[in-house]
Amino acid sequence: MVIKYNIGKNEYRNWIVGETDFQPEYLGKFETIFTLSNGYMGVRAATEETYREEIRGCYIAGLFDKFPGEVTELANIPDWLNVDLKLDGEKFDLKTGNILSYRRQINIKDGQLIRNIEWESPTGKKTRLTFERFVSLKNLHFAALKVKIVPL
């Protein structure tokens, strides 16, 4: 498992933690480490594209699911982060093609999770993808995802 601590510079020194390799076997661990929350809403750091190894989850504080005879659990709200991308007709999936570069980092100071990828599809098309997300502290009901796609 490759996790880097203290990768921030200047004012962000000691505020940024990141990973530098896509490792499906550790998706669950990084989903927990990179979770975003504002005290009201919490979002596991599952990737935008889905993988079998993930445990996706978006939660609201105090919202529980309970049936008679079962243990009370946090209830999932709808998954607003699932992005099914097709790039020039090919499904974006890091388990296919080649990962040319990969970096995901959480900026704890600003509350941002950013993932940068350069990917070559199985047919040889190269693309740079950037995913940025945050959960607002100012407006507890607001969270956002920005996706930037650049063909190379």
| CA pair distance 7, 133, nearest whole angstrom | 19
For a pLDDT cut of 90, what percent of the chain falls above it?
78
Domain that includes residue 143, residue range? 3-151
Q: What tokens appear for 126 in the block?
A: 């190269």
pLDDT digits (tens, 9 = 90+) for 73-121: 888 899 999 999 999 999 999 999 999 999 999 999 999 999 999 999 9
CATH number of the CATH domain containing 23: 2.70.98.40
Tokens of 123: 């047919």
**Domains contained in the chain, number:** 1
